[in-house]
Amino acid sequence: MAKWNKIVITNAGYQLSAATLAGNTIRYTRAQTTDKDMSGLTSEQLKEITKLESVVQDLPLGTVSVQDDHTVNVPIKVMNSDLQEDYLLYGIAIFAKIEGGEEILYGIATSVNPDLIPAQNGSTVVGTTFKVKLHVGDAANVTIVVSPDGSVSNEELESILSNYVLKTNIDEMIPDTLTDSTKAEHITGPWDFEKVPTVNDADVATKNDLKNYIDKDSLLIGGRNYFLNSDFSKGLDNWLGDLWKIDSTTFHGDGVVTATPTKAAVTGENSINQDFMSAISNQTVIVSFWAKASVTGANFHLEAHGGYSKTDLRLTKDWKRYSYKLTLGDTGRVYIIAVDAGTQYWLSEPQIELGDFSTDYSPNPDDNILPENVLTADNIADSLPSDLVYSDKDVTVSGQFTFDKAPKLSNGATLSTSDDAQKLVDQIADLKGQIDAQMKWVTISQADYDTTKANGALDSGTAYLIY
């Protein structure tokens, strides 16, 4: 009986086997027999063989089946059909190839005590079936098993059918919890992902990712819009920028402004902005707005006054909301600039808010605090009555003033009322009556009084009324 050595995988066979680790598929194609004695060759010499010498027969393979993850069964039937002469079967070579690649000599089995394969005499066909078990990628564990039976064994049949199921059993084998990736599913159990799932090509963040990304102590979310008249309901009140005009259209029910620069510039002349923004000066803000342009790719520019921070962006022909973080200077002013000459720009719902994240648009709450007829700094002077008394001007009073307390002059003297004056007159008249009862009154000129006094002739009992 023949004695066979272990099959040797050639160097080319090893490379082909390694290719399966990269997802490539090996197809075993055919076998060849030889009458050349190769039993004396070492395994290293056999590995170098790429072409079998003294080929006697070129044979098809039987049905190749998978035994387990690393073993395949390759049946080879060596028959004497059309064989003209007897020969000693010293070796069998198996050929294989990667799908779409070139065929190579995969492995060689040699015999120390070869079988005799007789020539076909008459109509009788005889032969031997070899069941070759190949351990892909590891020659030390590959063996060849010879079976004299030319039929398919139960073991072979079970191996072939092990990868197939009956059509009637498919429904039973599919679990009820199987998920259809094309349909919406409600997941009730925990799913563990070896790789981060994606949504529209963007990685999904875990809770830990968000915790690591967000510094809760420094997180600031604003929400108050510091732009006044940001819905342009009052035209361009509060806004600066001669280039920008109110557009006839609206967006989300709010006003729209538009501009078409006559020259390309990243300067204030092409900007729209607001002054008196000191409430947010020297702070980090989020500036957001809806915008579009007549040309896709139109240049648009944001810049904090003083150049503390700036950003460039490109607009599309469709309305889109943009949001950028800026660090402001001392004035708190931000320039929104239309850059390209000849391109028309549209802007709506601008918003500037403190913090690190943009919130949904809302107008400045101060826009709705005062009624429409409230006096402003611009019209308050014109709204005052013409006969209003100013404290720093000379005034002729035609009406009657009533004071709860007596008014005072700037030198501190208190003004007297008519009642005070009448009391004083009455007191003087009473005092005069008392004096008349006790003294003589003489009316005298100042000159006569001075002469009489000089002569020492004044009477101590006489009251002199000098005129």
SS3 30: strand
Q: Which two tokens stand for residue 210?
A: 């968000």
Do residues 352 and 305 make contact, with C-beta atoms less than 8 angstroms apart? no
d(CA 392, CA 208): 70
d(CA 258, CA 244): 6
Q: Which two tokens stand for residue 352?
A: 């500037």
What is the residue whose two structure tokens read 């090509």? 201
The pLDDT tens digits along the chain (467 residues) read 678 888 899 999 888 888 777 777 888 899 999 999 998 999 999 999 999 999 999 999 888 877 777 778 889 999 988 888 999 999 999 999 888 889 999 999 999 889 899 988 876 778 888 888 776 654 333 334 444 444 455 555 555 555 566 666 676 667 766 777 777 777 777 777 777 777 777 767 666 666 665 555 555 566 789 999 999 999 999 999 999 999 999 999 999 999 999 999 888 899 999 988 888 989 999 999 999 999 999 999 999 988 778 999 999 999 999 999 999 988 889 999 999 999 999 999 999 999 888 889 999 888 765 455 555 555 666 666 666 666 667 767 676 767 677 677 667 676 667 777 788 778 877 777 776 666 677 788 889 889 988 998 887 777 777 87
Q: Where are the domains of the chain?
A: 3-161, 407-467
Residues in the chain: 467
> Can you say how many angstroms the Cα of residue 373 is from the centroid of all Cα atoms in its chain?
44
- Give the CA diameter of the chain: 199
SS3 454: helix
- What pLDDT score does 219 carry? 54
Global confidence as pTM: 0.38
**H or E segment to which residue 283 belongs:** none
- What pLDDT score does 318 carry? 96
d(CA 181, CA 231): 45
The pair phi, psi for residue 292, each rounded to 5°, is: -155, 170
d(CA 329, CA 148): 95
d(CA 445, CA 390): 47
Q: How many CB atoms lie within 10 A of CB 239?
A: 21
- What pLDDT score does 112 carry? 87
Do residues 287 and 347 make contact, with C-beta atoms less than 8 angstroms apart? no
d(CA 150, CA 128): 6
CA-nearest of 117, 113, 62 to 84 is 117
